[in-house]
Amino acid sequence: MELPTETASLAVEFANTLVHDGRGGVDDLLSSAAAAQRWLRGHRLSPDAGYESLLAARSATRALFAAAVAPYPASRADNGRTAMPTATALQLLSGNVGALAPATRYAYDAGRVTVTRSTRLEPGAAAVGVLSLAVLELLASPAADEMRACQAPRCVRYFRKHRRQEWCKPSCANRARVARYAERHQPTADDSANADASGPPR
């Protein structure tokens, strides 16, 4: 089978299969084999990927992403958890890519060099390798310097920062703004004393 070409966002979305649950906790888009099959189908990968090896590859991915964003803070979903050591994570993902054994073919298309990669593995056996390759290619590229963990309240996502963008998406930017506003406008003891003296606010 031919491997997907645009894989940077696939790598980020794989890392972001941990999501906030809206209540300060974390939900897992790969919480069961059935959930994992849904996620894989949604990303045009075979749902026949091994569930355990998919989870192991995700742990390895999160460990490498957490290391890649340093000195910026890791996702809060990775704080306080026993992360996989980066050497182990790297070994695991490169092992998956090794099993995939991608063959690279270059061609000319209208004067431009194009590249395609393919594997002899069946799609089901290839899926975890495809994800592992996407993650390692991203982290080995200049884009690795742009990776950040979103620090908006509750968010646990990694994202690729563009220019002055601070948050992974507009809803996070809104939440962060609201939180900052609330922090600045928290009534202090003095404020409430003044409020009492001058009557209720109009």
Positions in the binding site for Zn ion (CB under 5 A):
150, 152, 155, 157, 168, 172
Q: Which is nearer to Zn ion, 81 or 161 (CB)?
A: 161
CB of 168 to Zn ion, least distance (A): 3
Q: Which is nearer to Zn ion, 95 or 153 (CB)?
A: 153
CB of 76 to Zn ion, least distance (A): 11
Q: Which is nearer to Zn ion, 39 or 167 (CB)?
A: 167
CB of 185 to Zn ion, least distance (A): 23
Q: How many CB atoms neighbour CB 189 within 10 A?
A: 6
Q: Which is nearer to Zn ion, 114 or 165 (CB)?
A: 165
- Quick check: 5 and 116 in contact, CB under 8 A? yes
Report which of 64, 61, 75 is spatially closest to residue 132, judged by C-alpha positions. 61
Q: Which is nearer to Zn ion, 8 or 99 (CB)?
A: 8
CB of 71 to Zn ion, least distance (A): 19
CB of 98 to Zn ion, least distance (A): 34
